[in-house]
């Protein structure tokens, strides 16, 4: 099931991405609604991270194109924010928590301009939203994994973007941090932001997302969560690997998708 959206915030047409001439995404066609919390779900190696990177033109595509807010990417970069996987970052870089978050304001400063008081206030407000204001002067290398993830999220918030791409923001964090992050993402959605999240946990997916994209190199489904997270579509996405996922086989047979913890 692939539902096409009227007046979409993101349009992807016939997108194919290859590494060393080997396609990792084939002919992706999808549209995403504005003001939604979107989960991109599929097995390891399905191309989930590749898809969101290609949407932002961080990876070159072999064919196809992407439009965001009905415009070419280069015209709307200032409205887009990206939270990469935490392990892809050099956390030994000598910078304070506040400096990292303030970097989120640089796109609004212009060339060679110094941060203004308003930019510093926005950075501190973002830290407060993720509960990290007391760590502002701490070096990022001294933080735990969950704290680093919160700082990354604060940097994205400081950008005050309209659409957020997040690559596995819940990976390697404790349940308290995950709870704080999903509550913040829901707040962003309620404020009209669009949040697109690469996610791997099927058990929490039905609780977290309004809209789900099921991917395994090709697009299997894209639509409202309750219509997409079905046994048939998940089996198409995961194939024989589905039975390897913890408890998912039993969950599917019961047609239930409980979250790990009610939030």
pLDDT recorded at residue 260: 45
Using CA atoms, how far residue 35 sits from 26, 40, 186, 194, in Å, is 27, 16, 10, 5
Helix (H) or strand (E) holding 100: helix 97-102
239 burial (CB, 10 Å; 0-12 / 13-18 / 19+) is: exposed
Domain 1-69+163-173+193-252 has what CATH class?
alpha beta
How far, in whole angstroms, is CA 173 from its chain's centroid?
15
What's the pLDDT at 116?
80
pLDDT digits (tens, 9 = 90+) for 54-95: 999 898 888 999 999 999 888 898 899 888 887 766 767 788
The helix (run of H) or strand (run of E) holding residue 223 is strand 218-224
Question: What's the chain's length in residues?
Answer: 263
Q: Could you state, in order of their start, the residue ranges of all structural domains in the chain? A: 1-69+163-173+193-252
The model's pLDDT over 21-31, given as tens digits with 9 standing for 90+, comes to 788 899 999 99
pLDDT classification of 7: cutoffs 50, 70, 90:
confident
Q: What is the pLDDT of residues 38-55, one digit of tens each?
A: 999 999 889 999 999 999
Is 159 buried (19+), middle (13-18) or exposed (0-12) by CB count in 10 A? Answer: buried
Residue range 126-139, pLDDT digits in tens = 999 888 899 999 98
User: In the prediction, which pLDDT does 6 show?
Assistant: 81
pTM exceeding the 0.95 threshold for the entire prediction: no
pLDDT tens-digit series, residues 104-121:
887 665 555 677 888 888
Average pLDDT over residues 195-208: 90
């Amino acid at each position: 099931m692939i539902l096409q959206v009227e007046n979409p915030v993101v349009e992807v047409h016939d997108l194919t991405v290859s590494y060393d001439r080997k396609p990792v995404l084939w002919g992706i066609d999808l549209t995403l609604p504005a003001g939604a919390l979107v989960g991109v779900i599929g097995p390891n190696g399905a191309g989930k991270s590749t898809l969101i990177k290609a949407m932002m033109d961080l990876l070159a595509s072999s064919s196809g194109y992407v439009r965001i807010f009905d415009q070419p990417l280069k015209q709307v970069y200032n409205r887009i924010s990206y939270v990469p996987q935490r392990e892809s970052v050099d956390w030994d870089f000598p910078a304070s928590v506040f400096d990292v978050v303030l970097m989120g304001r640089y796109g609004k400063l212009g060339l060679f301009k110094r941060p203004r008081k308003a930019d510093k206030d926005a950075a501190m407000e973002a830290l407060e939203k993720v509960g990290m204001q007391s760590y502002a002067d701490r070096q990022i290398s001294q933080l735990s994994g969950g704290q680093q993830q919160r700082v990354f999220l604060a940097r994205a918030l400081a950008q005050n973007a309209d659409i957020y791409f997040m690559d596995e923001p819940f990976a390697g964090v404790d349940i308290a941090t995950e709870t704080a992050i999903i509550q913040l993402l829901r707040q962003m959605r309620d404020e009209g932001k669009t949040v697109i999240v690469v996610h791997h946990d099927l058990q929490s997916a039905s609780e977290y997302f309004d809209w789900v994209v099921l991917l395994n190199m090709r697009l299997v489904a894209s639509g409202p969560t309750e219509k997409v997270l079905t046994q048939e579509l998940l089996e198409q996405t995961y194939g024989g690997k589905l039975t390897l996922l913890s408890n998912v086989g039993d969950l599917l047979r019961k047609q239930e998708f409980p979250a790990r913890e009610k939030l």
